[in-house]
Structure 1
Amino acid sequence: MKFCPNCEVKLKKSDSGLQCPKCDYVEGGISKKTKKVIEETESEFNVLAENEGEEALPTIKIECEKCGNDEAVWWMLQTRSADEPTTQFYRCTKCRYTWRNYA
């Protein structure tokens, strides 16, 4: 039983000798080199910029801690483990101050 010197995976018999199934290392034959092309895909999860998409967020009547304005937009995120409640974020519509409530 032989193992690959590169990735330490057990070598398997193939037409060209003993071959590593992981990195294509070949022992006792002609090795073929291949390049793996990894394509980057754009994530489905979007983080909003400071002003982007805010008009789509719901508003709530709550007093701003900084300026006293009584309206803010709000959203919720799971910032801690799944067995704990979500964190509520608020942003004042007047002064743009952001604060959170750990509910």
Structure 2
Amino acid sequence: MYPKRDGAKYLLVCKSCGYSEEASREDHQAYRMRVTVEKGPRDKIVVIDDETPVGAQVLKGSVTCPKCGHDEVYFWMMQTRSADEPMTRFYRCKRCRYTWREYA
């Protein structure tokens, strides 16, 4: 049963079948619902600064920047999702510094 307010009435309602019964204000407050959001390791935020990341390699001709069309980019890989998922490939244009990603 979960608490619900219908105008001035306090109700306790079953989520499964929809049955409801009137409750006093004290009963209604005793059955308060609280939602707690917990963050896990999958909720990490990856921040890539303006500098070229350590270990980045330069690619010429094989990848083109979608923003300016330049064909020289930095490239590096990083694990951004769970370990059973493939790594994410990042690119940064040498000319305009635009950064984008490609899921492998």
TM-score (norm 2): 0.48
**Structure number with higher relative contact order (C-alpha < 8 Å, ≥ 6 residues apart):** 2
More helix by share: 2
TM-score (norm 1): 0.48
More strand by share: 2
Larger Rg over CA atoms: 1
